[in-house]
Every structure is written in structure tokens, then in C-alpha cells.
A and B are shown apart, each in its own frame.
Chain A
């Protein structure tokens, strides 16, 4: 079954590459690159060594933005889910800010962090923080608000209260949905990092895309896109793995 799905995936990729080859047959550097030109471009950027620096730069920014978003978003979301009064006050605000694309914050980010030593890094991290923050808060809020009242009631019945209630009931009950939110947020942050790096920074995969475009090396642009896809996939698989390990240890199988 595993092999079967792998072969099926290969079939999809092969069909895509075939169509791509047909559409770009005979193109030169500067036109839309063909699969072969992309592969060769990938070899070239990998050999140059800047690719690795750019990967590290992008991953580093995402890691910071995402971690900060989780560190603030999870506790805030749980608090909003737990206290209906607080939710009534704060949630409409959160939900109104959420649809704003993080990229729209860029001008403000530049003003806020401009002039500091790491100004461009900080603005990129700020955008990534925003992009990850809203899905995390939203998931944590609804995870906590939708905890089965039966669990809370029986905890009260058995005199389990305060921090003990939080640690043994609220957190584990909310965990599956919080983890799903984290995974979603990481995916969004990875999408946003490329856009964020197209302005104002001089490292990262987004920068590499813009830089290659300015050099009219479309094959390098496509090569960077392949790398972005591969790392995105890796991050998502990693998160899925973390998710299922944590949940399996708790005996909660996801159906």
C-alpha cells in the first residue's frame, strides 16, 4: 500500500514534468525554464553555496516567527477559550485582524524596526509572527472552548481544580486541535517567508528568487521554487510526525 501510493505520486510528478517539458521545449535562459534547465540551475546554485545560506536564513526567520507566535498564541488562545467574557471582548478583534495579509504590515514593520541593527530580519520575523499567530490563536481558542463539558464536570466532581485541572484536563483535551493549528501555521509561515524576503532583505529563498529574476536567470528562479517546495514538504511532514507521536503517546488515535 505504501509502495502503491508512492508510485501513484511518481505518476503525477512524471505527468507534470512531461507537460512542463512540452510547454517549454526549446526555451532559452530568460524564457520560461524547462525541467532540464531547472535541474541544471539547481545544480549550479547548490554548487555556489549561497543556496545553503539562503535556506538557513529562511528557516531561521520562520523558526523565530513561528516560535514567538506559538509562545504567545497558545496561552492567549487557551485563555480566550476558557473565559467566555474575555473571548467576547478580544475575539472579534482577533478575527478582524486575521484576514489582513501579513505582507500588508510590511510598511509598518519597516517603520517599527527600521534603524535597528537587524532591522530587515526583525521586520521579516514580525511578518512571520503575524502569519503564524492568527491560526494558532484561533485553533487554541476553539480547542479550549469546545472541550467536552463532561470532562470539566467530572474534574470538578473529583475536586481537581486550578493548575491541576489545566495540566491534566484542559491542556490534553485541547492538544490535538492546537497541534493541528500549529501545523497549519507553520505551512502559512513558510508560504509568507518567501514573499517577506522579496523586500528589504538580502538573504533567504525569497531574496534568491528576486535576485535571480533581476539577473534574468529564470532557471535559477525555478530552482529556488523547487527548493521552497521541498523544504515546505519537509516541514509539514515533520510537524505531522511530531503531531502523531505526541498524540499516540497519549493513546488518542486520530481516526
Chain B
């Protein structure tokens, strides 16, 4: 199915990536020979046991952490530093508490005439449904609204790639469901390449085109599962449950 509709060009090519940390207790091998291709415009989810190195992998892909060996290429170019072309969305929103919503969304836009900046900021405020809150400060917003500001700020710089590291982790269950639908809608409208790290297998199956399952540390990618279920997906569907069970099986979790 994927071959027909969407663009299957490789956006990010991860080849034999190893990452070790030197700590006081010695060297820790976190990533061991990770191979993974991320396709242009796809929504890829990465799941894996806690502490296996999902965030580390994402940090390396974003250029925050240097890799020990191997290569990560985006559009054929080796990643060596963070860039506005690929933006990280944090679990606890990284928006700045001393700036208004407007200033936060305009944070990454650099120098440009006010009119132009205002137009862009307002466009993304509308996209995430925060009309009327442009003058509010983060302390006046709910967790879900802060997360929306974070998304708007990331999207406003028009990145090719969004890295989402458990972006809904700090939210309550209800808001989390709402934000899942929201991120799908935004992804549908913008077609960015999205890479989502999550603990929540159901979240991964609901959102992603493909689910990459990682092994415990030292981590590698065990397998990548295609998910061709039509959207919107429901956890009640038989195929949905089957895919979820498959992921749990790979993770080594027995479910009754």
C-alpha cells in the first residue's frame, strides 16, 4: 500500500550506528549497530524497552549527540549539528516561560520584518487551534495547550523532519488522546516526516505508518512493522489488536 500512495524515498538513512557513553562507571554501549531507514513524509514510531536508547537515537538523529561509529544521513548529508530543518519536540514542553505564546512561536524564525513574522506566527497559532491566546504566557496555559505551542513553534520554521520524544508523556490520559488526534491532523496537513518515540504501543499503532521495535540495551532495531490500516484507526479493530500483539510479542511481553 505504502509504495502506491506516498513517497517512499529514503529521508534518513541510519547505518550501523553505535553509540557509547563514557561514564564514571566505565563505558556504556547504548546503541549497537542500528540500521533504519526513514521514508520521506512518513510517520514512523519507535518503541522499545525503557532505557534501551530511544531518546539517544533521536538525539543522534537531531545532531545533539555525536555518534561513536556508523553514519546518519539526511537527504544524503551526514548529520553533525542541530538544524532548523529538523526540529525536536520535547516531552516537557521546552517553550520559554518568559515569552508569550506569540514570542515563543516566533522564537526560531530569526530576523525578519514584523509583518511577515506576525503572519507566520498567526498562521501556526491557528493551525494548532490557539487563536486568541497569542498574548498569553505559558504559565497561563494547560499542559495540552503548552504542547500545542511547542508544536506550532516547531512547525513555524518549516522543518522537513519532526522528532517527537514522548511528546504526550507529561499529559493526562484524556488530553493525550486529544493530542494524538491533533498531531495526526497536523501531520495530515503538513506531511512532515515524523519520528515518534513512545512507550505506548497503542499510540504507536494508532499513529504510525511503520513501527520500529528496538531490543533492550545495547539496542538495535529488531524489526520494522508496516501498518497499512486506514485512518482513523480504532483500538477495537481486529487488525489493530493483532498488530499491537505482534509488537508486544517482539518486546517479549506476554499478555493474557
Residues of chain A whose beta carbon lies under 8 Å from any beta carbon of chain B: 148, 150-151, 153-160, 168-169, 172-173, 175, 250-253
Main secondary structure of the interface of B (DSSP, over half): loop
Distance in angstroms between the alpha carbons of A253 and B137 in the assembled complex: 10
Report B63-96 CB contacts with A as 1/0, cut-off 8 Å: 0100000000000000000111001101010101
Tell me which residues across on chain A come within 8 A of B138, comparing CB atoms: 251
Whether A252 and B90, one on each chain, are in contact in the complex, defined by CB atoms closer than 8 angstroms, is: no
Contact of A252 among B92, B139, B153 (CB under 8 A): B139
- Is B62 in contact with chain A by the CB < 8 A criterion? yes
Distance in angstroms between the alpha carbons of A115 and B206 in the assembled complex: 81
- Summed over the interface, the residue pairs from A and B with CB atoms below 8 Å come to a total of 61
Whether A251 and B84, one on each chain, are in contact in the complex, defined by CB atoms closer than 8 angstroms, is: no
Whether A157 and B82, one on each chain, are in contact in the complex, defined by CB atoms closer than 8 angstroms, is: yes
Whether A251 and B98, one on each chain, are in contact in the complex, defined by CB atoms closer than 8 angstroms, is: yes
Query: Which chain B residues (128-172) contact chain A, with CB distance < 8 Å?
Result: 137-140, 153, 157
Contact size range, B: 20 to 34
Tell me which residues across on chain A come within 8 A of B99, comparing CB atoms: 168, 251
Q: When A250-B98, A252-B98 are in contact, do A160 and B64 touch as well, CB less than 8 Å? A: no
Whether B84 and A158, one on each chain, are in contact in the complex, defined by CB atoms closer than 8 angstroms, is: yes
Residues of chain B whose beta carbon lies under 8 Å from any beta carbon of chain A: 62, 64, 82-84, 87-88, 90, 92, 94, 96-100, 107-108, 110, 137-140, 153, 157
Q: List 22 A-B contacts (CB under 8 A).
A: A150-B94, A153-B82, A153-B94, A154-B88, A154-B94, A157-B64, A157-B82, A157-B84, A157-B108, A158-B84, A158-B107, A158-B153, A158-B157, A159-B84, A160-B107, A168-B96, A168-B107, A172-B96, A172-B98, A250-B137, A252-B139, A253-B139
Tell me which residues across on chain B come within 8 A of A157, comparing CB atoms: 62, 64, 82-84, 87-88, 108
Tell me which residues across on chain A come within 8 A of B107, comparing CB atoms: 155, 158, 160, 168
Distance in angstroms between the alpha carbons of A158 and B82 in the assembled complex: 8
Q: When A158-B108, A158-B157, A160-B108 are in contact, do A251 and B88 touch as well, CB less than 8 Å? A: no
Contact of A159 among B62, B83, B98 (CB under 8 A): B83
Distance in angstroms between the alpha carbons of A32 and B140 in the assembled complex: 55
Whether A251 and B90, one on each chain, are in contact in the complex, defined by CB atoms closer than 8 angstroms, is: no
Tell me which residues across on chain A come within 8 A of B96, comparing CB atoms: 151, 168-169, 172-173
